[in-house]
Amino acid sequence: MSDVFVSYKAEDRRRVKPLVEALEADGYSVWWDAQIGGGAQWRHMIEAELNAAKCVIVIWSKRSVGIEGTFVQDEATRAQERHVYIPVLLDKVHLPLGFGEMQALHLSSWKGDRSDPHYQAILSAVARLSGVSADPAKPQSHPARFSRRRVLAGGGVAAVAVASAGSWLFLRPASASASGSIAVLPFANLSGDPGQAYFSDGIAEELRSALGRIAGLKVVGRTSSEAVRNDDAQTAAKKLEVATILTGSVRQSPSTIRVTAELIDGKTGIDRWSQDYDRSPGDSIKIQTDIAENVANALSAALGSAAKAAVGLGGTNNPEAQRMFIQAGALTDKKLNDETAHRAFDLLDSAIALDPNYAAAYSRKSGLLTLYGNGYAKSAQELAQGRAESLRLVRIALKIAPNLAQAHTALAFLYGSNLQMGPAYAEARRAIELAPGDAFVVARYANFASTIGRTDEALQAGDQAIALDPLNNSSYNLRLRSLFFSRRYADVVRAAEELERKSADSLSDPALPGDALVMLGRYREAQSYFGKFAPDYWSRLTGEALIMARTGDRAGAERRVAALQQGYRDTASYQYGQIYAQLGDKDRAFANLERGFAIKDAGLMGLKTDPFLDPLRSDPRFAALLQKMNFPS
């Protein structure tokens, strides 16, 4: 006799499994479709277990409350008659008539954490009805199981055969719609220690990165994937517009790591494949590689043999190095400032010290150094030193992993910042060829294309970046930049307003709508956007100076220039050029732009498309400056 009988609809098995494992880990014996055969025996076994169980948990979901849920409803009736009924909600549903008198326990967003109050409420109900107190123990080991409901549907034997082979055969070309689309959701950390969450995140990060390098495969970016971490597979797939969801869980003890990986059909929510990996802690990276290789092997039939080669490119076998790499990315993805940048630098240095062949860590630090220097360097010397180090690091990355797309993106960003526009474009193109499904690579390409005047390419890549990372605000902010450089100012303002309606912090760069409003002559509204920055920040000082220049307040504009010079000196040479162009002082504008070229001010990347420089375009000096920068034709 089991302590607990779990009644559920077969299609919900993936969602029910964490509850069964948690109850078993707390010392209860659980019956839920234990190995049963076809024919006449299965009915008698179910009835015997249902009548003998000390309590019956009935899982109510969209499927079990419907016309196809008669098995569940019959079992719930029997449980009520025996007064051992515990209703649990997986979805927001109205219970069938006769089952709503007892308050149901909600478990819709639970991922297996045994300390969660929702699970604890179920545990208390089980203890009360069964008369057995929870006694945490090691999870029980069970032979392979399958559902009698699937047997009845005629698909049970096939399901067992696929699971036994560890197969991903459903990802044949016929089922890989739109050349394949997948979201890798964060793996749940079931270890009971929040400090171990880095490993759960690391699995998803590695899988996402490897799959993003496969041509023809749409892989949703990290920000969007994490935004739906509490949704069920079907809801997540609908929000992200993907056919398949890959997720799982991680449970760690001092002696063992158990990783469960699950591949789920986004339309039906049904498990297509699942696999448990039990390894020692030192094999943690190997588990990630195993999962990624299984995916790549399956996809290679449809998408080319290069899929498997993509797995692990530029990565590490050191779990601690990977933890630091992931933490550095999390710090700077959310907010880049002086503090977060230097903490990230320290973490990446430590990761590289642990694994000197960690190409992705060299690449990430290179890109971050360039980005930090462009926005925070206080002198031409500091700018030059940062870029020299950035170049050294990215060259190491490419020596270790020549086909690492993120390294080519970092090099493109560095070349562009150094005003080597031809080589920058070549590297950006190479990156997107290597990883056309990587949201970060595509977004960077969209940003670069917009600055060099390839408007159609920029908007197309921007749309692709949004499709790859639809819940990432930065993807939409990049589109604002492309719209601005294509001189669609009203569209910039409308898009910015939509972002702000979505949430207060959705608009990451208020200078973009501010600049667009300046070009539209709506100066008071523009000032409201520039006012979102700190008073001494360069974007605010520049924006206010441009307003003053266009409204005839020359003295005010000069005061803003003086404030810029005090805080940023030569590193704001491009901004001085913009302001003097709007003031009509061409000589001082060109003097500052030439100085910017000499110190490699990254602002000059926008020289070809920046509307604030329009007063200079008819001057021969402007054409000469463009020629020196060697923009791609």
* CATH code, domain carrying 275: 3.40.50.10070
In a domain, 388, yes or no: no
Give residue 36's domain range: 4-145
- DSSP-assigned letters across all residues of 270-334: -EEEEEEEEE-GGGHHHHHHHHHHHHHHHHHHHH-THHHHHTTTT--S-HHHHHHHHHHHHHHHH
538 and 626 housed in the same domain: yes
Interval 598-612: pLDDT, tens: 998 888 999 999 999
Q: Where on the phi/psi map is residue 106: left (φ > 0), alpha (ψ -120 to 50), or beta? A: beta
In a domain, 424, yes or no: no
In a domain, 396, yes or no: no
Domain count, the chain: 3
- Give the pLDDT of residue 176: 32
Percent of the chain with pLDDT over 70: 82
Q: Which of 314-318, 368-372, 497-501, 557-561 has the lowest mean pLDDT?
A: 314-318
- Give the pLDDT of residue 301: 41
Q: How far is CA 367 from CA 286, 389, 397, 409, 417, in A?
A: 27, 11, 11, 8, 11
10 and 113 housed in the same domain: yes
CATH number, domain containing residue 53: 3.40.50.10140
Mean pLDDT estimate for the chain: 82
Nearest to 529 by CA among 557, 499, 552: 499
What is the DSSP secondary structure assignment for residue 420, as one 8-state letter? -
Q: Which residue has the higher pLDDT, 158 or 16?
A: 16
Is the pLDDT at 33 greater than 80? The verdict is no
Q: Which of 130-134, 216-220, 441-445 has the highest mean pLDDT?
A: 441-445
137 and 82 housed in the same domain: yes
In a domain, 330, yes or no: no
**Cβ pair 478, 446 in contact under 8 A:** yes
**pLDDT tier for residue 163 given thresholds of 50, 70 and 90:** very low
621 vs 209: CA distance, rounded Å: 45
Burial of 208 (0-12, 13-18, 19+ CB in 10 A): buried
- pTM: predicted TM-score of the whole model, two decimal places: 0.64
**Cβ pair 132, 28 in contact under 8 A:** yes
544 and 594 housed in the same domain: yes
Interval 87-119: pLDDT, tens: 999 887 888 888 876 778 888 778 778 888 889
141 and 178 housed in the same domain: no
- Give the pLDDT of residue 23: 92
Is the pLDDT at 624 greater than 50? The verdict is yes
CA-angle at 290, arms to 164 and 211, nearest 5°: 110
Percent of the chain with pLDDT over 90: 40
141 and 202 housed in the same domain: no
How many residues can be counted in the chain? 633
In a domain, 128, yes or no: yes
Is the pLDDT at 516 greater than 50? The verdict is yes
36 and 116 housed in the same domain: yes
**Cβ pair 198, 250 in contact under 8 A:** no
In a domain, 451, yes or no: no
